[in-house]
Amino acid sequence: MSGLSAPETEGCRNLLGLLDNDDIMALCDTITNRLVQPENRQDAIRAILVYSQNVEELLRRKKVHREVIFKYLAMQGVIVPPATEKHNLIQHAKDYWKKQSHLKLKETPEPVKTEDIRLFQQQEKEDKKAEKVDFRRLGEEFCHWFFELLNSQNPFLGPPQDEWGPQHFWHDVKLRFYYNTSEQNVIDYYGAEIVSLRLLSLVKEEYLFLSPNLDSHGLKCASSPHGLVMVGVAGTVHRGNTCLGIFEQIFGLIRCPFVENTWKIKFINLRIIGEGSLAPGTSMKPAVTFEPSDLEAFYNVISLCSTNEVQLNVRQTLDSGTGDQALSSGDEALLNKRELNLPNLLKH
């Protein structure tokens, strides 16, 4: 019988999936003393998990390369320095699986009483009536959660309050990052892992702190008939006691159909402007320079146009303006307007 716990078994199965077939078969031969003859790759992985004495003994095998453990941790959102030695990577993996085990224990539901079911059903009916969703409230709660979680990854603020990683994004998420400090640039990032790591690096490696302005000027929300919720938020960018500039950020959120009350991020447009790049006389008070109708128009343009047309139009609008004006309403006005001209990273 396997000496691995359920989270360790599941984690090792995913980790072993990163090995090539030759390494899997050789590892199976070593662990089973060639007494098991697997018919295929999955049989070999199953035998490896069953006959391993414990997780550390398995991960210390030569065929389980350091790079494979590092890649697995990165895929789970566990960020460690690339030069970390193998025995330390093993400890990180064990700690991660232990944490997953504790989370599952906490999630084990208590028996539900009949009265609770009735109350729940009544509450559900009331909730559905009220579910003309208050998008302003949703946007505010999302921003509180997102920025508290992201900023808590800053090493100057102590241990993170929760786990940051690709699980908060749709797998095909896109980040468009505009920055304007000593230079101007626009960079696109694709995929949950890459996007989550890029955002993480802002606070973990560049030590930035994003402070959102959640009053009526700093937060705007809108929704589409298809369920896409768009949240626009403005704020200030800090490092330590220094205010470095301002930012504007648009999130596209889609509700997860498989997990109750859960939204994931579909796209992000992030604009950062260094204080030295602001036009003379520009106020540092952060405010979103577009209205909910502009968010709706932006969505309508994307849904009506093909991908290539959208990329062309967005690139044209980006190249044509300074980003100092507010977006105007309507599809045509939105495409013809001078767009958010977003920035390069803030220098240390």
Rounded Cα gap, residues 111 and 104, in angstroms: 16
Q: Which domains does the chain have, with CATH numbers?
A: 6-105 (no CATH), 135-336 (3.10.450.50)
Show the low-confidence residues of the chain (pLDDT under 70).
Answer: 1-2, 104-133, 182, 277-348
pLDDT of residue 145: 93
pLDDT of residue 163: 86
pLDDT of residue 328: 32
Coil, helix or strand at residue 7:
helix
- Where on the phi/psi map is residue 34: left (φ > 0), alpha (ψ -120 to 50), or beta? left
pLDDT of residue 124: 63
pLDDT of residue 135: 79
Structure tokens at 276: 């030295």
Nearest partner of 315 among 291, 335, 300, 345, judged by Cα: 335
- Where on the phi/psi map is residue 278: left (φ > 0), alpha (ψ -120 to 50), or beta? beta
